[in-house]
Amino acid sequence: MRNGPAWKVRGNHRSLALAMLLGALGLAGCAGNHGAAAQPSLYQQLGGQAGITRFVQAWTTEVGNDARINAAFAHTDMPHLRAQLVNLLGQDSGGPQVYTGPDMYVVHRGMHITNAQWNAFMEDGHKAMQQEHYSDVTQAELLGILLPMKMDIVGH
C-alpha cells in the first residue's frame, strides 16, 4: 500500500483537525484570560485588607490562647504585630500593602524558635483559616507564602 494503511491516513487528518481545533480554543482561552475574568489573586481570595485583617485577628487570638507558645508573646505589642502581619500578608499575596518592618530572619533571630513552636503557630494559623472559611486552594496558596519563611524563623 503506497500511503500506508487507510486508518493511518484518516487518523492523521483527524489529528491535524484536532490540533487546529485545540489551537483555536487555546487562542480563544488566551484572549479571555487577558480580561477581567482572570483567576482571583490570592489577595482577593483572602478577602483583601478586611479579610486579611480578620484572619490575622483570628490567628493572633488563637496564638494568645495557645499555652504552648503564648508565653513567647508576653511582652509583645500585639496591635503592632497584627498590623505588621496584615501588611506582610497583603504584600506577599499581591495586595497594595507595603511591609516596611525588618525581615523575618532579623525579627526572630535570638528567639531560638523550635520546630514544636513553629508547628503550634502554624496549627493556630490553620484554625484561623478554617474560621475564615478559606477554600482548600486558598489555604494551600497561603501556606505557599508562609512555609518558606520557616528557614528564616526557626532555629536562630
CA 88, 105, 60, 101 torsion-angle sign:
negative
Query: For ligand HEM, which stretch binds (CB under 6 A), given 7-15, 32-40, 50-58, 68-76?
Result: 68-76
- Which of 15-22's residues contact partners 24+ apart within 8 Å by CB, and which partners? none
Q: How far apart are CA 61 and CA 66, in angstroms?
A: 9
Out of 57, 91, 117, 139, name the contact with ligand HEM by CB under 6 A.
Answer: 117
Out of 46, 52, 58, 88, name the contact with ligand HEM by CB under 6 A.
Answer: 88
109 touches ligand HEM (CB under 6 A): no
As a three-state string, the secondary structure of 43-98 is HHHCCHHHHHHHHHHHHHHHHHCCCCCHHHHCCCCHHHHHHHHHHHHHHHCCCCCC
To the nearest whole angstrom, how small is the minimum distance from the Cβ of residue 96 to ligand HEM?
Answer: 18
81 touches ligand HEM (CB under 6 A): yes
107 touches ligand HEM (CB under 6 A): yes
65 touches ligand HEM (CB under 6 A): no
Give the interface with ligand HEM as residue ranges (CB under 6 A). Answer: 69, 72-73, 76, 81, 84-85, 88, 101-102, 107-108, 111, 113, 117-118, 121, 146, 149, 153
